[in-house]
Amino acid sequence: MTILAIESELNRATKSLKDDWELDNENFNPDILLAAIINKGATFEPLYADPDYFYIMNRYFWLKWNRTFNEWFNAFDIEYNPLDNYDRHEEITDITNDEGSETSSSSREYDGTSENTSSNSSSGDSETTNTVSAYDSSTYQPHDKSVNDNSSRESGSSSTDDHNEESASGTTNNTFEREQTHMAHIWGNIGVTTSSAMLKEFLSIREWNCYEHIADIYCREMLITVF
């Protein structure tokens, strides 16, 4: 019994070796793969002669290799320029902290019939004396002296008035954070390989066929490849 005979036997039971052959890639076609396997291994006997048991082992074969086969097809879907050997994407974020001040003011007007006024004042002096010791003296001598005059005054008045105004102002120190993002895309040929050499390598890779290589693995593991 050959692989083609097993497929025919399974078809009578509305089954097929390709039933579990699925990949997460829209370019994969299980019919093409089955045709490639039959074309390569039609003259070889299956590793398991019973069609139902071969059907089960065929499923496990696919589960074992599913991820590898999927990566092969995905690799050929990558879009790139075969004549460029340099393609870099950069994204740089700069964060800057700026300090500044913010001044705010407010005022309020209202009507009234009286105003109280008072006056307080205070004053005082503070004295600061600095001393220094000469290199040949063991005692400290006066060096300089400063006197500060501190005074304050509060005043107010009491009278009849029908208009008053209040105002307030202040300054607030703030820290501002500024973020800037720079993006760049740099590509091309950096000169280590000629364009013709890269094109030749690209065409050689494209000659590599996923279906042919999967069929080779299938025949090696699921068929007795001797005459």
Reported confidence tier of residue 112, pLDDT bands at 50, 70, 90: low
Reported confidence tier of residue 193, pLDDT bands at 50, 70, 90: confident
Q: Which residue has the higher pLDDT, 123 or 38?
A: 38
Question: Looking at residue 213, what is its pLDDT?
Answer: 96
The yes-or-no verdict on residue 120 having pLDDT over 50 is: no
- Paired sense of beta strands 45-46 and 223-224, if any: antiparallel
The average pLDDT across 164-185 equals: 69
Question: Looking at residue 128, what is its pLDDT?
Answer: 56
* SS (HEC) of the chain: CCHHHHHHHHHHCCCCCCCCCCCCCCCCCHHHHHHHHHHHHCCCEECCCCHHHHHHHHHHHHHHHHHHHHHHHHHCCCCCCCCCCEEEEEEEEEEEEEEEEEEEEEEEEECCCCECCCCEEEEEEEEEEEEECCCCCCCCEEEEEEEEEEEEEECCCCECCCCEEEEEEEEEEEEEEEEEEEEEEEEECCCCCCHHHHHHHHHHHHCCCHHHHHHHHHHHHHEECCC
Cα 154–chain centre separation: 62
Asked if 10 contacts 16 with a C-beta cutoff of 8 angstroms, the reply is yes
**Average of per-residue pLDDT values in the chain:** 77
Q: For the whole model, what pTM was predicted?
A: 0.58
Distance between CA atoms of residues 155 and 132, nearest Å: 44
The average pLDDT across 57-72 equals: 96
Distance between CA atoms of residues 77 and 173, nearest Å: 56
Distance between CA atoms of residues 178 and 98, nearest Å: 8
Distance between CA atoms of residues 74 and 66, nearest Å: 12
pLDDT digits (tens, 9 = 90+) for 15-57: 999 999 999 999 999 999 999 999 999 889 999 989 999 999 9
Question: Looking at residue 119, what is its pLDDT?
Answer: 46
Q: For 133-137, 167-171, 198-202, which range has the lowest pLDDT when averaged over its residues?
A: 133-137
Reported confidence tier of residue 80, pLDDT bands at 50, 70, 90: confident
Distance between CA atoms of residues 89 and 159, nearest Å: 76
The average pLDDT across 151-159 equals: 47
Q: State percent of the chain over pLDDT 70.
A: 65
Distance between CA atoms of residues 215 and 65, nearest Å: 12
Highest mean pLDDT among 93-97, 139-143, 174-178, 212-216: 212-216
